Chain A
Amino acid sequence: MKAPPAGAEAPASADGRPRVYKTGMSRGWWLRRRHYFLYIVREFTSVPLALWLLWFLVEIQRASNGPKGYMPHSSPAFVAFSVVCLGFALYHSITFLSLAGVIIHVKGVPPRVIVLSQFAMWLLASVVIAAVLIGFAR
């Protein structure tokens, strides 16, 4: 924000009302640069991830229908929805974990190593999750 010029502190306009500073932000500012656009995409990843988690909650709840009533989602539309969500999920993971080098400071450990450790944790967690989900199947 630009500082007001000297002597411009709250000058009354012609009709006596104080002038209000208006922020200059156009509707489509985020479409103007690739960097801005990717920032908005990063923030938007919340929406598909939230929808997928809510679907997951529904799948858990469906187990209360009993063995006859339990039907896991299998439609092509659901798979397509998951593919889209996976894209956003990966974008969230990569951007979020890459920030760890800026957020976490450990004396004597370079930020690159901290970021690498976060990605290693992601890999390890993914392997464990897949192993449990597949290992307990029949």
Chain B
Amino acid sequence: MTSEARRRPAFAHLVWWFLFAQGGVVAAILIPAHILVQGILGPLGIVPVADRHYDTWVRLVGNPIVKLYLLVLIALPFFHFAHRLRYLLVDLGVPAARSLPAQVIFYGGAIVVTAVTIWVLLTTVPISFG
């Protein structure tokens, strides 16, 4: 085996581990505020929230920086979740979750969520700088 071929599995590991760590950070520092404001305070009418009305929500979602932010917010945590859920299954007595097909399903699922998020962000509201 050449030294390059030997290094490759470690490189794949590095990529998944990096996505796992970054997804964890994004989930930790960004998600609670969204759930509190958009899931609880807004629907209860305690504070006005941009997603309660079509015009304010479209103005926000149309902004390219917001679109990029939403992609990071929604897609990256799924790489964290995929890794955690795979090992949760292993811990609960499903050793098959370690297998290659399981890896394809879990990380593939995260890639599918990423693709769907990109598609939704590009097709829902046209990009505008207003």
Contact = CB atoms under 8 A, between A and B. Distances in A.
Interface of A: 25, 27, 30, 40, 43-44, 46-47, 49-50, 52-54, 56-57, 59-61, 63-64, 66-67, 70, 72-75, 78-79, 81-83, 85-86, 89-90, 92-93, 96-97, 103, 118, 121-122, 125-127, 129-130, 132-134, 136-138
A62 B54 CA distance: 9
16 contacts: A27-B93, A50-B77, A50-B81, A52-B31, A52-B35, A52-B39, A53-B74, A54-B113, A60-B124, A63-B54, A72-B43, A82-B38, A89-B27, A92-B28, A93-B27, A134-B48
A52 B81 CA distance: 13
Given A46-B81, A50-B77, A89-B32, A136 B60 contact: yes
A110 B70 CA distance: 34
Contacts of B57: 63, 70, 72
A83 B48 CA distance: 18
Given A64-B123, A79-B44, A134 B49 contact: yes
Interface in B75-89: 77-78, 80-81, 84-85, 87-88
A133 B43 contact: no
Contacts of A75: 43
A118 B43 CA distance: 29
A115 B3 CA distance: 38
B116 to A, nearest CB: 7
B68 interface: no
A73 B43 CA distance: 7
B91 A40 contact: yes
A30 B80 CA distance: 22
